[in-house]
């Protein structure tokens, strides 16, 4: 399933913006940039390695016509889409131009499936829930899958019951995350701003009050399993030194 969005990814050495660890999203689901640091600043230059994703939604009536899903392209192919995106605290054209290279990806996912288990076989990671890379939860969910599957094997042994418990815990909720990500995921908040004021405002609180913003993000975090309080208070998924009981093996 391709919704028409194409992403270009790159990394550039630049000064971190805002707090120095801020994750920044600009634009709407049709035309946006995501920027965040992926290294500590160099103590001598103050520069950090900044990851950026530039995205544009285009006509997808004929489907994806390029060969493959990931290829290197020149920055000049897409930089014009973001000309003029210059602010006191962030120069998007300069950030894109400063990269050594860029990689093009269509936003591709698959429709959710009713179960990840078929007999003695269980899917995990992208094989189970290929989703739009929104909120970085495609990669993190694969880690969660492995931990939950491991905990199920500890509880039920190497048995069909272990696979069923894993499937019951994750398949339904993560299917909802796939669909949420099609709707821009956490960046849906930017769409609300655009709908209400066209992106022009003096005080964001006049457009979307803090309580509404917090409720929106809390809903996404809860669905994706990222709720801060829930994560911080949760016990370890697998205890240190835990081993599967061979006696429980099928």
Spell out the domain ranges in the chain.
2-108, 110-250
Over residues 25-44, the pLDDT tens digits come to 898 878 999 999 999 999 99
Quickly state the pLDDT bin for 3 (edges 50, 70, 90). confident
**Residue 157: both structure tokens together:** 């042994």
- Give the SS3 label for residue 240: coil
Buried/exposed 186-206: b ≥16 CB within 10 Å, e otherwise: bbbbbbbbbeeeeeeeeeeee
Q: Structurally, what CATH architecture does the domain formed by 2-108 represent?
A: 2-Layer Sandwich (3.30)
Average pLDDT estimate for 100-116: 92
pLDDT of 158 reads 92
13 compared with 136, residue with greater pLDDT: 13
Quickly state the pLDDT bin for 226 (edges 50, 70, 90). low
Q: Which of 36, 103, 166, 220 is catalytic?
A: 36
pLDDT of 92 reads 97
Quickly state the pLDDT bin for 119 (edges 50, 70, 90). very high
Q: Is the pLDDT of residue 250 over 70?
A: no
Over residues 45-100, the pLDDT tens digits come to 999 999 999 999 988 887 777 777 789 999 999 999 999 999 999 999 999 999 99
pLDDT of 136 reads 67
pLDDT of 118 reads 96
Quickly state the pLDDT bin for 129 (edges 50, 70, 90). very high
Q: Which residue from 183, 180, 162 is spatially nearest to 226, judged by alpha carbons?
A: 180
pLDDT of 146 reads 95
pLDDT of 184 reads 63
Instruction: Answer for the pair 187, 33: CB distance below 8 angstroms, yes or no.
Output: no
For CA atoms 139, 144, 146, 149, give the dihedral sign.
negative
pLDDT of 229 reads 77
pLDDT of 245 reads 78
Write a three-state SS string for the chain: CEEEEEEEEEEEEECCCCCCCCCEEEEECCEEEEEEECCCCCCCCCCEEEEEEEEEECCCCCCCCCCCCCEEECHHHCHHHHCCCECCCCEHHHHHHCCCCEEEEEEECCCCCCCCEECCEECCCHHHHCCCCCCCHHHHHHHHHHHHHHHHHHHHCCCHHHHHHHHHHHHHHHHHHHHHHHCCHHHHHHHHHHHHHCCCCCCHHHHCCHHHHHHHHHHHHHHHCCCHHHHHHCCCCCCCCCCCCHHHCC
Average pLDDT estimate for 120-125: 96
Q: Largest Cα–Cα distance of the chain, in whole Å?
A: 66
36 has catalytic annotation: yes
- What's the topology of domain 110-250? FAD/NAD(P)-binding domain (3.50.50)
Over residues 131-183, the pLDDT tens digits come to 887 766 777 889 999 999 999 999 999 999 999 999 999 999 999 888 877 76
């Amino acid at each position: 399933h391709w919704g028409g969005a194409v992403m270009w990814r790159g990394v550039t050495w630049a000064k971190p913006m805002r707090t120095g660890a801020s994750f920044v999203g600009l634009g709407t689901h049709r035309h946006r940039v995501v920027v965040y640091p992926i290294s500590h600043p160099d103590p001598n230059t103050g520069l950090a390695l900044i990851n950026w994703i530039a995205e544009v939604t285009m006509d997808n009536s004929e489907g994806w016509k390029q060969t493959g899903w990931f290829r290197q392209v020149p920055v000049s192919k897409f930089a014009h889409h973001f000309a003029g995106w210059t602010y006191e605290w962030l120069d998007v054209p300069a950030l894109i131009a400063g990269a050594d290279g860029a990689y093009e990806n269509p936003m591709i996912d698959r429709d959710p499936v009713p179960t990840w288990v078929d007999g003695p076989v269980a899917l995990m990671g992208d094989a189970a829930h290929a989703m739009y890379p929104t909120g970085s939860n495609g990669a993190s969910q694969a880690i969660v899958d492995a931990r939950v599957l491991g905990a199920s094997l500890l509880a039920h042994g190497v048995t069909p019951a272990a696979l069923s418990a894993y499937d019951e815990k994750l398949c339904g909720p993560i299917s909802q995350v796939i669909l949420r990500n099609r709707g821009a995921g956490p960046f849906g908040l930017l769409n609300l701003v655009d709908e209400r004021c066209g992106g022009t405002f003096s005080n964001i609180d006049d457009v979307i009050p803090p309580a509404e913003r917090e409720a929106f993000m809390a809903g996404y975090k809860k669905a994706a399993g990222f709720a801060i309080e829930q994560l911080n208070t949760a016990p370890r998924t697998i205890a240190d030194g835990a081993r599967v009981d061979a006696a429980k093996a099928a």
